[in-house]
Amino acid sequence: MSAIAPAEFAAAASLDALYQSLERFGADPGWAKREPSLWPAPRKGYKPMHWSYASGRAALESAARFISTELAERRNLILFNPVEGNRYATARTIISAYQLVMPGERARSHRHTPNALRLVMDAGEQMYTIVEGRKLPMLPGDVLLTPNWHWHGHSNEGGETAVWIDFLDVPIMHYIDGGMFFEHHSEGIESASVIDTDSPMRFPRAHYDAALDAAQEPRPGERHVVLGPAHLDTMRLQVHRLQPGHAFDYPRTTASVVYAVIDGTGETEVDGERLTWARGDVLVVPAWRPHVHRVNEASHLLRVSDEPFLERLHWLRVEGEPVLEAHARIQYQAR
């Protein structure tokens, strides 16, 4: 395939001739690249984005007239970032989707290596996600986790249409080639009899509200809590409670962030672009873009970031905070 004899390179009469041989060898001269492969600071990649829940839900209700959960294991709407070559990821490392399950419907159980979580927007009593054989209630404002290789299926046993927002780290899996595994459950939907209202995989709205009531204000009008301990290896979940009358600015960081609006209304300026939002909407703050939130009323935002993933690799940086010397060099000096 790329068997070019050493003698051919030795005999090259000019740089052009050498480049022609290199073409067949399957190698590029690094010194002659038009685009550098390394640059001094993050470039703009994924775009700041906003999707409206009212429209997303209407689209799914319309889809439900044509598409059953028999046909589609998941009736979901992938919120893709409109950058060149992408029809899947919402932010570079996170995919977010609206999902709808009609009364009486079940979405079959499966498991996969990507980590997933959901924020419930609308659901009635007896909407459950079945995680590893236990039924977890899905009530509005609840956050539910299905980490790496945990069985999960969704069963709407009540009378109300259920709609939620999914977040998964699938784009990381797509990137690393070796990461993806997926299996269907042999039972279709996994059988479950126990209703578990106190699962480590469920963060009820009332619990994080109480934690927020007790939290300090890092600055006037702002409180946040982490939903944890962390059960997902790649994503950090925080709930922010923001009060009107302030501008909450956040510096550039290397993390990719997706926000979902639990309740309230407001606007977020991302790197100069203004996104106006309401309950259930989804916002993207791409890596290395500053942002500012302003709210019209007390509002709650779920913030999903890839910070744990970056932290483990020593690639999380916050503009304005001192940067540790390269991790490798610290280890080298310590020897």
DSSP string, 258-314: EEEEEE--EEEEETTEEEEE-TT-EEEE-TT--EEEEESS-EEEEEEE-HHHHHHTT
How far apart CA 178 and CA 170 sit, in angstroms, is 12
Residue 115 engages ligand GTQ in binding (rule: CB under 6 A): no
Residue 152 engages ligand GTQ in binding (rule: CB under 6 A): yes
Residue 174 engages ligand GTQ in binding (rule: CB under 6 A): no
Beta carbons of 113 and 181 less than 8 angstroms apart = yes
In order of 35, 103, 134, 140, 240, the CA distances from 202 in angstroms are 46, 22, 11, 12, 18
Partners of 117 in beta bridges: 145, 167
Residue 97 engages ligand GTQ in binding (rule: CB under 6 A): yes
* Least distance between ligand GTQ and beta carbon 37 (Å): 33
Number of residues that bind ligand GTQ (CB under 6 A): 8
* Least distance between ligand GTQ and beta carbon 205 (Å): 20
Residue 173 engages ligand GTQ in binding (rule: CB under 6 A): no
- 199 or 253: whose CB is closer to ligand GTQ? 199
| Binding residue for ligand GTQ, selected from 69, 93, 99, 268, defined by CB under 6 A | 99
Site for ligand GTQ in 37-96 (CB under 6 A): 74, 76
Residue 185 engages ligand GTQ in binding (rule: CB under 6 A): no
- 173 or 295: whose CB is closer to ligand GTQ? 173
* Least distance between ligand GTQ and beta carbon 243 (Å): 32
Residue 155 engages ligand GTQ in binding (rule: CB under 6 A): no
Length of the chain: 335
Residue ranges binding ligand GTQ (CB under 6 A):
74, 76, 97, 99, 116, 152, 166, 168
